[in-house]
Each structure stands twice: as C-alpha cells, then as structure tokens.
Structure 1
C-alpha cells in the first residue's frame, strides 16, 4: 500500500476513548526509482491508527533507549544525542525520531540473520530448539526458529514434533503458527498419536480451543489472521512509546503511562532493541547460541568449563599475560568471548528504568542487536547457571556501591532485571526455570512475591532515566501498591522526588524482600532513607537536603546496617512530615572538633597519597590514649577504618590486620619519598600510638622506623581478600572524612561536615548522624556517620542522655 506523501510534519489526532492506544503498522514499499527516499535511503513508511482493547490486532511492544544504546565515556562526542533526528513517514506525513529508534525500525524491516545450525539436536531427548520452544509455550521463540528456517517436521526421541508438544500443552497460538508454517497435523509419534490425540489425552491449559483448531484446520486455512505472526516487527503492528503517545500532550501522557501494564501485558512479546552491532557482537552471539537449552542443572564438566573461563578472564584483568583469543582445554569461552558478552550485557538498555516495567510485564522477550537475535533464556543460563550470580556480578559490575536488597552493583543491572522478573512474573519461563534450577521444584514460595514500590525503588536505584521523574513513574505499574502516587508530568522533579522521599522515610507497610527459597534478604526500615542522602554535585532541581538525588548513583557504600542499633530500643517518632521537612526526636551526643582535610585525589590514589594516612594518624594522636570503649586509641582507629568490612567478615581480626599492614606499608613508602626530618616526626607519632597497641604487629616498631620496604619486605603478601578489603575501604571513604569529636570519639562521615557540627542520635535510627544547627530546634542534614563506641546503643546508657523534638530541613 502506497500512501500519498505530504511534505508536512505529522500531527496527532486525539485518541477516541480513554482506553484507546495507537499502533504503528509498517507499510511495505516496492523498491522502485520513484519510491520516496532520503539521501538515497528508502523512506520508512508507517500507518499509525487507534486501537481499542476489545478489538486489538496482534502487536509487539518495542523496548529501546531514547539515547545512545552504548555507554559513552565522559567528554567523548555522542552521535546519538537527541537533537540528531531521523525522519520517517507516518500516515503520509513526516515525523522526526531519534537515531536509535530509527535504526531499530530499519532493522526490523530486514530479515534476521540465519543460525548456522537451527536444527541442532539437544540431548538427552534429541529435541531441536523449535521442539523445545513449542513445549515451553514460547510463541516468540517459535516465530524466531521458523524465521530462521527451522524444520517443523523434525521429531525427537519419542517421535513428537513441535506441533505435538504445542498441542498436548494447550498452546493454540503456537499450534496456529506451526500449521500456517506447514506443519502436518497427521504426523504420528512413536505411540501412533497425532497432535490432536495428544491434545485430547493431556487436556492442559487451553486444550479445548487447541482441539477445535486442529479439528477444523481445513476450514481454518482460509483464515490468515495469524499469518502475520511469522515475523517480529515485519508486518505485525508495533507499540512504541515515542510514536504511539503524543509526548507533547501531558494529559494523554499521564493516561497512557497508567495503562502500561495493560499495553505490555497484552503484547505478543517485547522486542528489546539493544542497538547496532559492533565488532564483538558476533562473538557474543556465538557464545550464547552454543549454550544447550534448557540448562536447568548443568553437568559438573559443563559448569566447570564456564567457571574456568571466568577465572581466566579475572587473571587477565589482574595483568596476567594471556592470549585473549585462546580457548584451552576445559575452557568454554576465551577472554575475548567473555569480554564480548560483557559488552553486550552492559549496553544501556539493561540499565534503563523503563525496561524494568517492560521486561517484567512481557509475556516473552525477544532481543535484537543489529542483525543478531538473542534468547532471554540463554542469557539467564549463562549468567546464573554457568557462570553463577556472584561471578557474573564480579565481571559486570563497575565496582560502585550497591544500594539495597540485591547483590548486583552498578553495571550489573541485568541481574536485577532477572531478580525482579522472577518475583513479579511468577509464571514466566524465567521464574519457572529459576525455581527448577535453584530449588529443584516449580512450587512458588508464598514469601517470594511481588515487591513493594519502596523495595523496588531502592533495588533499582542504579537504573538510569532521561526524565528524573520516571524513576518513580516507571515503577508504578510493576509494584504491588502505588502508595497513592500517580504518574503526573505536570509536577516538577522536586515535587515528585519530595513526595517519594516522605513515603520512604516513613517506610510503612510491608517492605521485605525474600530469596526464591523464602530466606529474607532485607527489609526497609523507617528513617533508613537518610543513609541514601549523599552529596554529589547537587542537581538544579534539588531544593531540600532531606530529598536524595534519586537519579544519581550513590557516591559511597552506605554506613547503615541492621547490625547497628545506635538508638537502642528508642522507637522512631516521625511527626507529620511535610515537604522536605522531617520532624523527629534527637539526642545530641557531641560536636565535631576536627575534620580531615579532604584530598583532591579520589579512589585508591587517595589511600596511597603521602598525606592521607599521616593526617589520619595525627587526628588519632590527639585522642586520649585510652578510648571510651577501654581499648587503645590506635585500636579504635583500626576498628573505625575496618568498620565496613567488620559488618560482613567472619574474621574480624583479619580486617584490623589489613588496616595495620596498610598503615605500616605506607610508613615505609613515606621513608623513601619524604625528607628525613618529616619521616622522623611521623615515626615519633607512629611509635607513640603503636606502643599502646596490644595486637601483634608484623614488624617491630624499630624495624618499622628503619624499614624501606615495610611488611612486603618481610615476606608479607597482599592476598585476594585483602585486595577486596582495600577496594571496599576506597568505596566506603569516597566522599567521607575521618574526624574527631570534642569528647574524644573517632568518626567517619560526609566530607561536608565541619567543626561545631552536631553528632546526634535520632530516635529509631541505626546509626548516628551529623546535623548543622540553622536556628533554635532547626537543623540541616549533613549525613550518616560511623562513630566508634556508640554504634550499639552505648550512648543511651548514659544518665545525661535525653531526647528533644527538632526539625531537620
């Protein structure tokens, strides 16, 4: 069908009803010299028309990123900035869309890349991928296999075809698709049963509907209502947010966002566009295509070959010289292969907040990267069954601090997507396979259910958005309860974030998260949100210090931990929180006397800096020789720096030893780098501090002062656990300083803390906090704190401990 082309901008017409949506249908244009083109490239043409829920054709929902599909390094040019528009024709008029969306639509008009061995047999039952897809009920995968030329006549060890399995399991849409593709309903299995007999014998799911389709196949052949279902995006209609919603109409935008669960839940599948391929995509495709399906309980040999691949990749990352393309015996993937899947899984699609909703609500997910097509189930098998979740997080995460609930750090958001889908889409293949794999049962644990909005919000902290308000709006259709929030784009960012912050501070309702086996992972507590208030560069919209920058990754590892109990049994009393104002009861502990001067260098270079540890030791030297807890001041220092590690380690003494070794090694390096006079002065301080330390040091003090090599020169080596400790310390101290209070406590808190700021206990709080007084009974929030000696309720045991109501703004 050729529509007359008008060189005018496309204009939206109002939707006919509140339940209407628009669907985009491709128009296939004959490639002739007269066909419309842009710079020699044929103009993509579409029809956009409204559709009602009760009379809606088959459609796919396209999921993609509005901006660059790959991470862009800071300072480098971005060819996908939203100002760079491409043109398509919609209803005969011109519509300008982003480059990434244009590339997705262009690719969807092309035939997909054929698999080299689409009819490969998988043991032990000799099934092809098409047979497996028919048995699993994946219409999406059946379509893909048929597109790639899969032989629908293939029979497994029992003589059954894909049509047999689709029929006996009651999947009428798959039965229709296979019949239209040419599958024979008269083929007999080893028990002389045709697909109809299998259907009637099993009586599963929608078996009666399936039975009628098979019985009436001759008359059904005239009905081509499902003939368009043989392709993804090629003939079938599409729902695309940027095109199907009038983005300039706020009322329509609000209404359509509220319907997202219906839109994605009704789609045949979600087509995930990951962007154009690069020079590593082919390798990733080959790696994922070679994974046997399904991998519910991989053999020890198979699992070991993938774990060995992970170990070899880690060796390469640590500097070991290896041939990155070599694949030795018992190694499933080369270093280059592992890097190729990392490049694929860290594309921006996986870290986009809207994807959470799209992936969770989807019946099935079909992934496309350039001309390559990927199976969601293969990705699950690689990350969880073959590498394992912990190893997958190690190779994908960029080392940033995690927010809450999940093990996945920034960069490993794909693991979080699987975690949410396995809980919120309990009947999906992902969830079913996860239960069968990890629990060896398909029984749903009643505790492992849909996450609350608050739990979901914190779990997905590291996901990104273009519009900050979507950090909240994109989750409303996925969570169990909306907490009274609605998607309203007439509200400012500050209004949306402040409203969400006040709900999080109260943390009312059920906010627990459980593992698949029913083990509780964590829960959200009142006031816990205060530990998320960290201070990177303040966004322009930010008005209240009490409202976190929800759209910015955490700067440092949170101090909060449910092992701490600074407020003892004192319950939280949050009085009618207003916008950006928190009314609570506090007990003033002390004031800050000295704060470490924050160095210009961040990361590990800060710890290696000539001045950092020297400044720390100077602060410690001004404490009383005997600390409040009865230990030495240097002992308190070891524990303060090791506090984050101590929360998780089964060997508390090891963390303190790590700190000691780090300080001692630094002193030796200081001797080589600095003047003799300065080094002598430093050593006097160190000697004074260490003389009071009862722990056994790796070096004697005299050896330490005169050593050029430190512990490393005496045979001590830094092991893997210590390396992890040091990097953990780097993340923990990022944006934070060591400080001393007037009463002689040692603390770690925000670098924004200043002398005379107050150290307080907030009723119901797990940790102490730093506040700055602005007027009588009014304070500004600075940050959470670790204060050695009052983390477990010791302050409340004092007779002079009392609480007073204040406002924190």
Structure 2
C-alpha cells in the first residue's frame, strides 16, 4: 500500500454522500449539502487565519457545528485512512461533490491550534465533542508528522502507533500494518498472531533506527497479561481523549534530551521471542513514590504539586540541601515540574515551539502550583504523572505505575532514562526485568551517566 499511495499524484479522500440526496450512494450519508458547505466554509476561514470571536453570529455557530459533525464521519476513525491521507503527493477531501485540498484542511487546524492556545475564539473550541476533539488531536500529530520525518525514525513510528491506536481495525494486526508504510521497514505478515506482530514492530523499529523511542507509549492500564511489558498492546482501551493528549506530550521529552549520549541500541538475537535483551547502566533505585490520582481541575493539580514539593523538601533535608547530581533541590524541583522544558507561543505559521528551561524561567514556573497562577508553561509535563525519589536522593516523574524498588536505567539508544522492575525470574543467571515507564530524572538527562565511563551490562526485558 505504501508504494501505491506514495506514487499517487492525486488522491480523493471520499468521506460520504449528502443526506438530502434522493438515493444516497453510501450509508454514511449523515450531512446535508448545506451542512457540508458550511463545514468546509469554516475550515476555509480558519485556513486563511480568520478569527471568529462573535458567538452570537448564527451562521458561524452553525458552521462550527457542521464541522464538528464532519469530523464524526467514520472515515476519520479507520486505521488505513492515515496512509491514504499522508502519503499521496496531493490529497483532496470530498463529501458529495464538495472538495477541499487536505493540505488546506491541515492549515485550517494549524491556525485553529494557535488560536485556541491564545484563548481567542474559545467559545467555539468548547463546542467540539470528544469524538471530534480526538480527530483534531490526531490531525495535529499528522501535521507534525512531516516535520518529524527528518528526525528519529523510531520516534516517528512510536508516535504514530500511540497517536492513531484508537483508530478502528477489523483485524488488530492492522493497528501496526496500517501504519508501517509511514516509517520503518516492517513488512505485513498475516501469518503472525497479533501479539507477535506487536513484538516484531518494536524489534524491527529498534533495529532499523538504533533508537529506543519505540519503547515509548502512553499508559495502558488494561494491558493483556500474556504480552511482554516492552511491547505495546494496541488492543488496550484508551482513556479519555484529554488524558491521552497529556500523555502524548511525553514524546516531546524523548527528542529534547540525550541521556545515552547518542549511542545506538544494542540487541541480542533481534528476531527472538518475548525477551528483549538491551544494554544499559543501572543508575539508582526508587525509594519513595508519591501516589496521586487524575487531576480534574487546577486546585487538584496545585494540591499535587504541593505534595511533591513537600516530599522534595524532606529529601533535601536528608542531603543537607545539596542535590546529588549538582545544584540545589530548589532548582531541581521546579525544573522537574516542567520536564526542564518551556512551551513557547505559537509562531506565525501556528507551530508550537518548546525549549530547555533557563534560570530566568523559575519565577514563572513556580506559578504552576499557585491556584491563581498561569499553568500554561508546565502542566502537560507533570499533570497526572507520578513523582518519585531514589535512594541516592534524586527526584523524577514518570507515567503512573512505578513502585518502591523499581530500578532507574540509562539504556543505550535511549534519550531518556527508563524505569524497569526486577522480577524473581532469571535467564542464564541474569535477572529478568519488566518495562514500567520512561522517566524524567533530574540530573541524568544529558549524558551524565554515560560520562562516568562505566561498562554497560545486558538488561533482559520480559
């Protein structure tokens, strides 16, 4: 399919037929001609970066409702339509006989994201339902996809899997095969069971890219028990769309840091079964975990941050205020809260930017846990994460799930540290470990562990 779509000069992405046609040609005839015209009209306005800040304007309001309905058409929910939209040189959305270049549709939402970030035209943003918000979020990643192509191919594939995992597929193997043409060399093989496809996707992408970005994924609380912890469960249910959006922000951390100093992942027996052997360095062990539930509002987020700060202050007293990897706990805490990253204003093209935090950012970042403060600089990195301390006194955050006794590793090919869980199981005398989460651990994000010149050991994940 990759070759077919890539060599296509012009692809018609057919969404459905008008509901007011005498004999609709498709069961997905849910929008009238007028509604489709209104939806594409609003999209064209957004593509031109026109602002709609008059909620009482009936025509504009109806246009946004029509656009919301357009984004609920089943075409947006299918896994194979991702390649159909991204690979052709020129793609056109078509509903009935109404058309709009897909690139123009992308531009509309590029501007829409910028407008929503600036909190202008906000009344219309709230009008979109959860189903449409999911499509919008996926569109944002699709827009970013072409920018990612010049970077880590392993990251590209892992982002695609997590972004579009909610898409529908009759065959669960298509959750992988429907995206494999976009990045990497994985070849569709329907003789394999779904579990084997999920494992092969990770192994192949790590081998191709030398990167451990394929290990990144959003939390999967309802994973299949028979699947290795390092492989994604593409059949697991996703949480609310808003939660999934926060989770996806973590992929940005992988590109921003270089904990393993540009090393390539090393694997033994890359075609083997459920054990994934990698090389890495043990850094520390988790000593305390601060458990906190989902933050439903600003007050709950501030309460969570205060608990984290109190824990940090307690650890600081034990270490006489000196952070083990240099600097102060005061500095380590606020940087951990924002993942040491600052979100920028959108530029003129509607592209969101981020950068590493500077000392001058501290005052603004500390407003995060002020109930009346501005949360825009760091909430995505720390919201609904799990805070932990280590035996040596390091602090960090990861996905929900770490436990006391879990190990912190820097693995070759990994730009961020990983939390792994030792098990009683052994293979050839080596302890087998379970994958838990990527992590931000202050003080080891930029190659500090690799500079110690220790010899990496084999780490066997199950």
Which TM bucket (shorter chain)?
0.7 to 0.9
- The 1:380–1:751 alpha-carbon spacing in structure 2 relative to 1, beyond 3 Å, is closer
The CA deviation string for residues 225-282 of structure 1, in whole angstroms up to 9 with x for no partner, is xxxxxxxx6xxxxxxxxxxxxxxxxxxxxxxxxxxxxxxxxxxxxx9x854128xx73
SS at match of 1:388: helix
Task: Report matched runs for 1:693-712 at 5 Å.
Answer: none
Task: Report matched runs for 1:216-231 at 5 Å.
Answer: none
CA drift of 1:574 comes to 1.6
The CA deviation string for residues 685-737 of structure 1, in whole angstroms up to 9 with x for no partner, is xxxxxxxxxxxxxxxxxxxxxxxxxxx5xxxxx5xxx44225424xx432x21
Distance across 2 between alignment mates of 1:448 and 1:642:
26
* Aligned: 1:633 with 2:329: yes
Distance across 1 between alignment mates of 2:278 and 2:107:
44
SS at match of 1:547: coil
- The 1:583–1:641 alpha-carbon spacing in structure 2 relative to 1, beyond 3 Å, is same
* Aligned: 1:344 with 2:70: yes
- The 1:543–1:772 alpha-carbon spacing in structure 2 relative to 1, beyond 3 Å, is same
Task: Report matched runs for 1:332-731 at 5 Å.
Answer: 334-359=60-85, 360=87, 365=92, 367-368=94-95, 373-377=97-101, 380-381=103-104, 383-384=106-107, 388=111, 390-391=113-114, 411-414=136-139, 455=156, 458-459=159-160, 461-463=162-164, 464-466=167-169, 467-475=171-179, 478-479=181-182, 482-483=185-186, 485-488=187-190, 490-508=191-209, 526-532=211-217, 534-540=218-224, 543-550=227-234, 554=244, 555-558=247-250, 560-568=253-261, 570-577=263-270, 578-599=272-293, 601-604=294-297, 607-608=300-301, 610=303, 612-621=304-313, 622-623=315-316, 624=319, 625-643=321-339, 645-646=341-342, 648-649=354-355, 652-653=358-359, 655-663=361-369, 665-666=370-371, 718=373, 722-729=374-381
The answer on whether the counterparts of 2:265 and 2:412 sit within 8 Å (CA) in structure 1 is yes
CA drift of 1:462 comes to 2.4
The answer on whether the counterparts of 2:158 and 2:213 sit within 8 Å (CA) in structure 1 is no
Moved more, 355-364 or 577-586: 355-364
Higher normalized contact order (CA 8 Å, seq sep 6+, divided by chain length)? 2
* Aligned: 1:753 with 2:417: no
* Aligned: 1:325 with 2:58: yes
CA drift of 1:468 comes to 2.3
Distance across 2 between alignment mates of 1:743 and 1:291:
54
SS at match of 1:468: coil
- The 1:396–1:457 alpha-carbon spacing in structure 2 relative to 1, beyond 3 Å, is farther
The CA deviation string for residues 363-420 of structure 1, in whole angstroms up to 9 with x for no partner, is 875633xxx543032x6435527973754886889999xxxxxxx9863434666788
- The 1:303–1:500 alpha-carbon spacing in structure 2 relative to 1, beyond 3 Å, is closer
**Please, what TM-score do these two structures have when normalized by structure 2?**
0.72
The CA deviation string for residues 492-530 of structure 1, in whole angstroms up to 9 with x for no partner, is 22121111121122234xxxxxxxxxxxxxxxx511112
- The 1:500–1:794 alpha-carbon spacing in structure 2 relative to 1, beyond 3 Å, is same
**Please, what TM-score do these two structures have when normalized by structure 1?**
0.44
Distance across 1 between alignment mates of 2:153 and 2:142:
15
- The 1:808–1:627 alpha-carbon spacing in structure 2 relative to 1, beyond 3 Å, is same
Partner of 2:4: none
- The 1:358–1:487 alpha-carbon spacing in structure 2 relative to 1, beyond 3 Å, is farther
* Aligned: 1:733 with 2:383: yes
Distance across 2 between alignment mates of 1:657 and 1:286:
45
- The 1:391–1:570 alpha-carbon spacing in structure 2 relative to 1, beyond 3 Å, is closer
Gaps of 5+ in 2: 1-10, 118-123, 239-243, 344-353, 425-429
CA drift of 1:768 comes to 1.3
- The 1:765–1:375 alpha-carbon spacing in structure 2 relative to 1, beyond 3 Å, is same
SS at match of 1:506: helix
The answer on whether the counterparts of 1:750 and 1:783 sit within 8 Å (CA) in structure 2 is yes
Alignment root-mean-square deviation, CA: 4.3
Distance across 2 between alignment mates of 1:643 and 1:387:
25
Q: How many residues of Structure 1 are paired with residues of Structure 2 in the alignment?
A: 409
The answer on whether the counterparts of 1:768 and 1:786 sit within 8 Å (CA) in structure 2 is yes
Identify the match of residue 764 of structure 1 among 408, 413, 416: 413
Distance across 2 between alignment mates of 1:662 and 1:415:
25
Distance across 1 between alignment mates of 2:334 and 2:391:
20
Identify the match of residue 285 of structure 1 among 24, 28, 37: 37
Distance across 2 between alignment mates of 1:460 and 1:765:
18
CA drift of 1:579 comes to 2.5
- The 1:291–1:646 alpha-carbon spacing in structure 2 relative to 1, beyond 3 Å, is closer
Distance across 2 between alignment mates of 1:335 and 1:458:
34
- The 1:791–1:376 alpha-carbon spacing in structure 2 relative to 1, beyond 3 Å, is same
* Aligned: 1:743 with 2:446: no
The answer on whether the counterparts of 1:351 and 1:413 sit within 8 Å (CA) in structure 2 is no
The answer on whether the counterparts of 1:565 and 1:765 sit within 8 Å (CA) in structure 2 is yes
Distance across 2 between alignment mates of 1:62 and 1:570:
41
SS at match of 2:307: helix
Distance across 2 between alignment mates of 1:566 and 1:770:
13
Distance across 2 between alignment mates of 1:546 and 1:798:
27
CA drift of 1:591 comes to 0.9
Distance across 1 between alignment mates of 2:260 and 2:110:
42
Distance across 1 between alignment mates of 2:450 and 2:331:
23
- The 1:409–1:627 alpha-carbon spacing in structure 2 relative to 1, beyond 3 Å, is farther
The answer on whether the counterparts of 2:295 and 2:383 sit within 8 Å (CA) in structure 1 is no
Distance across 2 between alignment mates of 1:399 and 1:798:
51
The answer on whether the counterparts of 1:452 and 1:480 sit within 8 Å (CA) in structure 2 is yes
The CA deviation string for residues 630-667 of structure 1, in whole angstroms up to 9 with x for no partner, is 4221221011112253482376346432332233x35x
Gaps of 5+ in 1: 1-59, 65-103, 113-232, 234-270, 293-301, 314-321, 327-333, 401-407, 424-446, 509-524, 667-711, 713-717
CA drift of 1:338 comes to 3.2
SS at match of 2:51: helix
